[in-house]
Chains A and B, each alone.
Chain A
Amino acid sequence: DQQVKQNSPSLSVQEGRISILNCDYTNSMFDYFLWYKKYPAEGPTFLISISSIKDKNEDGRFTVFLNKSAKHLSLHIVPSQPGDSAVYFCAASDGADGLTFGKGTHLIIQP
């Protein structure tokens, strides 16, 4: 049973517009959430994170929102750029070793 779900396998967004990637989780013990970005043939790279005591974290063009009651988080990218085209993984930690990842969303930025 998947504890971290990314229900959109792919998302296409026009350059300059906002990209919104969504993630849902089921384990209420998760207290830290992360987004990773992955290009083909490379390992995932850390993008941004949020602790469960916050509801928003911003870093440049990237903002992560957390809704604990809904067990939902989202990553906003504004404005979207061609280099943002990649697979984005949502991941969660419950303080134990290792992260639980979603299946990923392939973001395609169209010129």
Chain B
Amino acid sequence: GAGVSQSPRYKVAKRGQDVALRCDPISGHVSLFWYQQALGQGPEFLTYFQNEAQLDKSGLPSDRFFAERPEGSVSTLKIQRTQQEDSAVYLCASSLDSSGGIGYTFGSGTRLTVV
């Protein structure tokens, strides 16, 4: 597609429920990033893939968060046993190479609300 597509756009989860957020990057983009943006804050780095390899997961806030990109294209961010503090917009970004910053294209995000 023309841009980075994220689904669902909105997700309401009951506390303790597992959720899966999907990211379809721009075709051919090597690098894929996940960010978490809490209300009133800037995006915070979660994890980075280069093709199917997860090269950096230092930003994942707990072991309840898991991301994968098995075929080097679509990525899924999974959050197990959701908590209220997980409520945020989850942004996915992709870029053609690993140069970082330049060439990032962000998706519109998934707004997760945990009730």
Chain B interface: which size bin? Answer: 20 to 34
A92's closest neighbor in chain B, by CB? B101
Pick the contact of A97 from B100, B103, B108 — CB < 8 Å? Answer: B100
B44's closest neighbor in chain A, by CB? A101
B25 within 8 Å of A (CB atoms)? no
B48 within 8 Å of A (CB atoms)? yes
Chain B residues, Cβ within 8 Å of A6: 42
A1 within 8 Å of B (CB atoms)? no
A103 touches B40 (CB 8 A): yes
Chain A residues, Cβ within 8 Å of B48: 97-98
B4 within 8 Å of A (CB atoms)? yes
Chain A residues, Cβ within 8 Å of B4: 43
Give Cα distance in the complex from A102 to B100, angstroms.
17
Q: Which of A12-20, A44-52, A60-68 contacts B (4 or more CB under 8 A)?
A: A44-52
Q: Mark A23-43, 1 if CB is under 8 A from B, else 0.
A: 000000000101000000111
Chain A interface: which size bin? Answer: 20 to 34
Chain B residues, Cβ within 8 Å of A75: none
Q: With both chains docked as a complex, state the minimum distance between the C-beta of B25 and any C-beta of chain A, in angstroms.
A: 12
B42 touches A43 (CB 8 A): no
B107 touches A99 (CB 8 A): no
Interface residues of B in 37-57 (CB under 8 A from A): 40-45, 48, 55-56
A97 touches B56 (CB 8 A): yes
Q: A32-B101, A97-B100 are in contact. Are A102 and B42 (CB under 8 A)?
A: yes
Q: A97-B55, A101-B42, A101-B44 are in contact. Are A43 and B102 (CB under 8 A)?
A: no
B37's closest neighbor in chain A, by CB? A101
Chain A residues, Cβ within 8 Å of B35: 98, 101
A43 touches B45 (CB 8 A): no
B101 touches A43 (CB 8 A): no
Chain B residues, Cβ within 8 Å of A100: 45
B66 within 8 Å of A (CB atoms)? no
The contact sample of 12 A-B pairs, CB cut-off 8 A, is: A4-B42, A34-B101, A42-B108, A43-B109, A44-B106, A46-B104, A46-B105, A93-B101, A96-B56, A99-B43, A102-B42, A103-B41
